[in-house]
Amino acid sequence: MRELRSALGRHQPNQIEPEAEKRTGWRRHGILVVAEQDPRLSWPERELIRQLGVKLYGELPERGR
């Protein structure tokens, strides 16, 4: 069977690589996007990220803990 093609296919967005976008944001604009629980960070680094997030944006909502 042949794959069906649509003229709308060219309008589909390209899939992005989140880590590449984060890297570009930092290098071009000085914008840092970090997940609080990123396993590459040590506990003190994660705690610093959490404290910065709370200071700038307020506490996280409860997540069923």
Are 46 and 37 contacting, i.e. CB atoms less than 8 angstroms apart?
A: yes
pLDDT at residue number 64: 59
In b/e form, how buried is each residue of 33-49, taking b as 16+ CB within 10 angstroms? ebeeeeeeeeeeebeeb
| Residue 16 half-sphere exposure toward CB, CA atoms < 13 A | 8
Structural domain contains residue 12:
no
pLDDT at residue number 22: 95
Are 36 and 53 contacting, i.e. CB atoms less than 8 angstroms apart?
A: yes
Indicate the number of domains in the chain. 1
* Domain span at 55: 35-60
pLDDT at residue number 27: 97
pLDDT at residue number 12: 76
Are 35 and 52 contacting, i.e. CB atoms less than 8 angstroms apart?
A: no
Structural domain contains residue 23:
no
Structural domain contains residue 5:
no
Structural domain contains residue 3:
no
Which residues of the chain fall short of a pLDDT of 50?
none
